[in-house]
Structures are given as C-alpha cells and as structure tokens.
C-alpha cells in the first residue's frame, strides 16, 4: 500500500453522491455531498493523491455510475454487497457522512464484500428479463383475484374442466350467479389477463430477438429439459460462467447450496442458504423437477434420493445443485458477450 494513495467511498443517491476521501492512514481528507455526476465526484478527490480504490454500495443506478467512473476517470471502482455492508453499519446514528466514510475505510482495508459489475448489455438483459417476470407475477396475481370473486359467490366450476384452459375461460365468461357487480369485476379481470398475455408475448419476442445470436443462450437451449425462460434467466443473472472459480461457487451464487447448521458434534443442515436471486433459484428448482422426469441420469439420482426418504422438493434442489455445477464446466469456455437489444 503506497502511503500517498487515497481511498474514496461513495454513498450514491439519485440526485447526489456523498464523497469521502481518506488517506492510507485512515485520516479523512474530505467528506462532502456533491451532485450526481462523474465530474463533481472527481473534483472532490483532485489534488489529494493517486486513487488506490473506490467503493460504492450496489443499489439502483450505482452500477451505471460505477461504469462511467471506470470509463471516464479510470478509477478502480468496486461495487460493495448491500446486505453485507448494512450488517457492518454498527453506528446507531446513520448518515450519508458516516456511510461514505465506512465505504472508504472498507476499500482502504481491503475488506469490501464485492459484487460483480455486470457490463451494460447484461444489465439491459436483466431489465428485460425482470420486466417479463413482473408481467408474469401480475398475471398470477390477477388470476388469484379472479378466483377469489368466484369463491366469494360460491361458484363451483365444472369438475371435468381444468382451470385456465380455453374451455374453462369460456365458462367463466358466461357463468351465472355472480351478480351485476361481480360480473363487471370478472370481465375486467378477464380483459386484464388478456392484455397481460399480449404484453408477455411481446416481451418474449423482444428477448428472443435480443438473444438470437447469443452463444451462451444457444448452448443452454441444447441442454435437455431447458427452455427459453430458464436460458434467459441464467444468461441475465449469471452473465459469464467463467467469472466463477468453480461449479460449487456458482451453485452457492444461485442459492442452491445447503445451509450449514452444525454445532459441536452435531452435523446438519437447515435447508438452502438464504441467498441468490429468488427467480433464478425458482427456475433452477423447476429445472430440477423436469430433469428428474426427462433425463435418465438425473432420474436415477432422484430414485436413489427418494429411496432414502427425501421429499420431492429436496430431490429437486439436490438435482438442480448438481446440475448447475455440471453445467459450469460445459459453459465456462463461452465468454462472448451478449449484444444490447436494438
């Protein structure tokens, strides 16, 4: 560590950035709030010495700002994991001043819990995948509200017809015994579901076009039991497989690793670790269920686990864990970046 280097902590906000600069000895040289611009932030550190590290807590908009700092100022910027940083804030008097100083101190000491700074095309793909997921969640919620109206009026749907099939939807459009207001609400829900269905198709068409030439997505689609939704989610959330050191590390990033609950001589686990993107974890667990049915290798493993008394949910997670670790070795050589959607 050079004695004349300085370390910068940035507490990012939509309209401002709190900038703290400390020297190698931990002395605060400057700590002030400036506008949300690269030029304003750079001026705070001008003349204080070479910048040895810049730490900014990962939040909405911070990744784009960090990339601009790297490109325009050539500062060594690191994104800090917000969950770990929050647990480090032991001071009861929270302020932008103390937050920026703590980030600077973490950079100076080399204790930053880093977050991968995804390139702009990957961040755009994440936004697109996230938008599709929002539409799917909204459609699911609308279905629940529609069913609640039918239950409130004690309407029993015909038993031979499965819910949400074309025949069932036709029946809902003409069902009686729901009252005038109930009929109006049901019609609004049906119209909303139709609009959401159209929006989801548009989002999926956009995703298909954006990833048409993507080698990672195309390679994922070659895997048994993997469809476009799983491939899109893996590409958006993982980005490049080679950024992980091992398949075990990738499985932990995806939240599929067992949580250790050992103490003394007692050895055990407490389910999955509470980490990872919940939607990424969900599609991988669903993939585990499919692989247990469709692929002979994973079907054999599922059979062995069931004979040991493992429930279906545990079997699916175990398969997903081992599958993603296996997938890592198939995908780590593919490093071509995704292109931004036009």
The CATH number of residue 49's host domain is: 3.30.420.40
Question: Does 244 lie in the same domain as 257?
Answer: yes
Q: pTM of the full predicted structure?
A: 0.85
* Tens-place pLDDT, residues 1-35: 556 899 999 999 999 999 999 999 999 999 999 99
Examine residue 327 and state whether it is found in any structural domain, yes or no.
Answer: yes
* Contact between 233 and 204 (Cβ < 8 Å): no
pLDDT of residue 342: 40
Question: Does 95 lie in the same domain as 125?
Answer: no
- pLDDT of residue 302 exceeding 60: yes
Question: Does 228 lie in the same domain as 178?
Answer: no
Both structure tokens of 133 = 């997921």
Overall number of domains in the chain = 3
pLDDT of residue 340: 47
Range of the domain at 221: 215-331
Question: Does 323 lie in the same domain as 304?
Answer: yes
Q: d(Cα 136, Cα 320) in Å, to the nearest integer?
A: 23
Q: What is the mean pLDDT of the chain?
A: 90
Question: Does 101 lie in the same domain as 14?
Answer: yes
Average pLDDT over every residue of 311-318:
91
Question: Does 172 lie in the same domain as 111?
Answer: no
Question: Does 170 lie in the same domain as 139?
Answer: yes
Which of 62, 92, 115 lies at the terminal end of a domain, its last residue? 115
Question: Does 248 lie in the same domain as 150?
Answer: no
pLDDT of residue 341: 45
Examine residue 288 and state whether it is found in any structural domain, yes or no.
Answer: yes
Question: Does 107 lie in the same domain as 134?
Answer: no
In sequence order, what are the residues at sequence separation of 6 or more whose Cβ sits closer than 8 angstroms to the Cβ of residue 31?
18, 19, 20, 21, 97, 100, 101
For the ranges 174-188, 208-222, 251-265, 274-288, the lowest mean pLDDT is seen at 251-265
Which of 210, 237, 252 lies at the terminal end of a domain, its last residue? 210
Residue 153 CA to its chain's centroid (Å): 39
* Tens-place pLDDT, residues 163-181: 999 999 999 999 988 989 9
Examine residue 29 and state whether it is found in any structural domain, yes or no.
Answer: yes
Examine residue 336 and state whether it is found in any structural domain, yes or no.
Answer: no
Examine residue 300 and state whether it is found in any structural domain, yes or no.
Answer: yes
Question: Does 327 lie in the same domain as 223?
Answer: yes
Examine residue 342 and state whether it is found in any structural domain, yes or no.
Answer: no
Examine residue 238 and state whether it is found in any structural domain, yes or no.
Answer: yes
Question: Does 56 lie in the same domain as 16?
Answer: yes
- The edge-to-edge listing of strands for the beta sheet with 16-23 is 28-35, 16-23, 6-12, 51-57, 77-80, 114-115
Which of 74, 97, 115 lies at the terminal end of a domain, its last residue? 115
Question: Does 226 lie in the same domain as 161?
Answer: no
């Amino acid at each position: 560590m050079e004695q004349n280097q300085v370390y910068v902590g940035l507490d990012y906000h939509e309209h401002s950035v709190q900038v703290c600069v400390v020297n190698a000895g931990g002395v605060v040289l400057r700590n002030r709030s400036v506008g949300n611009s690269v030029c304003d932030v750079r001026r705070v550190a001008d003349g204080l010495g070479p910048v040895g590290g810049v730490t900014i807590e990962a939040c909405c908009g911070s990744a784009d700002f960090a990339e601009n700092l790297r490109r325009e100022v050539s500062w060594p910027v690191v994104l800090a994991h917000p969950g770990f940083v929050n647990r480090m804030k032991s001071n009861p008097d929270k302020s932008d001043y103390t937050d920026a100083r703590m980030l600077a101190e973490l950079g100076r000491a080399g204790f930053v819990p880093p977050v991968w700074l995804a390139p702009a095309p990957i961040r755009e793909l994440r936004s697109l995948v996230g938008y599709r997921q929002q539409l799917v969640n909204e459609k699911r919620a609308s279905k629940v509200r529609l069913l609640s109206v039918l239950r409130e009026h004690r309407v029993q749907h015909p038993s031979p017809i499965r819910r949400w099939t074309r025949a069932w939807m036709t029946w809902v459009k003409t069902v009686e015994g729901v009252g005038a207001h109930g009929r109006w609400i049901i019609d609004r829900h049906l119209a909303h579901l139709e609009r959401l269905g159209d929006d989801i198709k548009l989002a999926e068409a956009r995703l298909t076009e954006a990833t048409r030439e993507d080698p990672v997505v195309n390679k994922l689609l070659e895997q048994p039991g993997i469809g476009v939704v799983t491939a899109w989610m893996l590409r958006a959330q993982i980005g490049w497989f080679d950024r992980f050191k091992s398949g075990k590390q990738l499985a932990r990033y995806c939240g599929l690793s067992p949580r250790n609950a050992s103490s003394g001589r007692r050895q055990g686990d407490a389910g999955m670790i509470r980490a990872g993107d919940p939607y990424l974890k969900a599609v991988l667990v669903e993939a585990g269920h499919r692989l247990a049915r469709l692929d002979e290798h994973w079907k054999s493993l599922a059979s062995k686990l069931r004979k040991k008394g493992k429930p279906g949910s545990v079997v699916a997670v175990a398969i997903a864990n081992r599958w993603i670790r296996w997938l890592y070795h198939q995908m780590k050589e593919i490093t071509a970046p995704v292109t931004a959607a036009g």
